[in-house]
Structure 1
Amino acid sequence: MKLSTVFLAVALALGSATIVQAATSDVLAQDLAQRDAINRSLAPLHSADDLAAFTASGRASALDALAPLDRAVFLQSLQFGPDGLSRYDATALRGLTTAQAYQVLALFGAQAHAIDIQPSAKGAALATADRDASRVVPMLEPLKGFRCAGHSTCSEDPSSACTDNCK
């Protein structure tokens, strides 16, 4: 086999690999765009008006996991475009676990970005506490004489009952 034939065969093989790689990249980009469009369409909040009505309702939501100052910073940073959320301050979400940040961003259909948020030491500590709490055996009955004092913490209170749903 001549050297030029070998060179041509190698060039064709490399060219095919590049074409396959480009096609795979295009398919992945289309899948990601489709996923993001689905996430946005299923999200409850698409505009500043939606957000105002949602926060005015007083319903419990994933936003409750934010510290008061972080919540204010986050809500004030939100900007919406024709396709929904277009900007937010990610630093306000750093005090959350990745799961909590995912739940907050899911309100806007932007949950795919939660993985990019680097939790602060507080967020990392919460994630560790959540993992540790998941190993706790749930109570079968409420703990009478105790009240919920915080995440998985019951304190004495003779007129209360603390449940395994203590948050």
Structure 2
Amino acid sequence: MKASWIKASALVVGVVIGSVSFSAYAQKNVEVSALEVDVSASQYVMQSNEIAAKLAPVKAIDDLKACIARTPVDSSPLNYLSPAAKSRFLSSLQFNEKGVSSFSYADLEAEMTPSQIYEVLSLFGIQRTVSFMKRARVMNDTDRLIMGMPNAPLGQCNGGNMPGLPLPGCDHDGYRCVGHGSCAQSMSMICTSNC
């Protein structure tokens, strides 16, 4: 009887140790899989942003002038804006060698839907910033999809050890570009990752 009790106890201990080991192994693999998904999602966002920037027809003020000159008035997404708002938006655009470095979105948000804003910002390859514009009128499922899009690689632009400070390679709501890699606080503006 003692021998069978010892065998049963050893079996239970073995099962418990095996379960704990398997549980720790499974937990570690779940964490590794989640990390791989985050890295993969981050790479996707970064590649999407890079493609958008490369395909954007407007990368400099001269490109903007040419785009306005050659695009029929009735087919330009800029004409979703009232004339005064269009003028303010275009005047707010700051460019550097990488493209738009900052812009004001107050008029975009006040007069347009996320889909319309997306069309306008696609001219500059910065459509990823639409989700910052929380006051835009959401009218349909496409608008909801656009507002739910990540604008940065997951976890990369959350402030890290310095919450509230702009991080390099990120777009920053409430900031404007004031020099290469330098953003300063400014209401209703976005300092883009091009700064």
Which amino acid counterpart does residue 102 of structure 1 have in structure 2?
Y
> Which ranges of structure 2 fall in alignment gaps of 5 or more residues?
1-13, 141-195
Partner of 1:48: 61
Contact residue 46 and residue 85 of structure 1 kept, 8 A: yes
Match for residue 63 of structure 1 among 71, 78, 88: 78
Aligned residues: 124
> Given the superposition, is the C-alpha separation of residues 58 and 11 from structure 1 closer, same or farther in structure 2, using an over 3 Å criterion?
closer
**Identity across the alignment (%):** 28
Partner of 2:28: 15
Partner of 1:91: 106
Partner of 2:122: 106
SS at the partner of 2:124? coil
Question: Aligned-residue CA RMSD in angstroms?
Answer: 2.4
1:147-162 to 2 correspondences below 5 Å: none
Contact residue 97 and residue 119 of structure 1 kept, 8 A: no
Contact residue 96 and residue 119 of structure 1 kept, 8 A: no
Match for residue 133 of structure 2 among 117, 141, 158: 117
After TM superposition, the structure 1 stretch with the greater mean CA deviation from structure 2, 37-46 or 83-92, is 83-92
Q: Is 1:32 equivalent to 2:50 in the alignment?
A: no
2 CA distance for matches of 1:16 and 1:81? 44
> Which ranges of structure 1 fall in alignment gaps of 5 or more residues?
129-167
Q: Is 1:72 equivalent to 2:70 in the alignment?
A: no
2 CA distance for matches of 1:82 and 1:11? 50
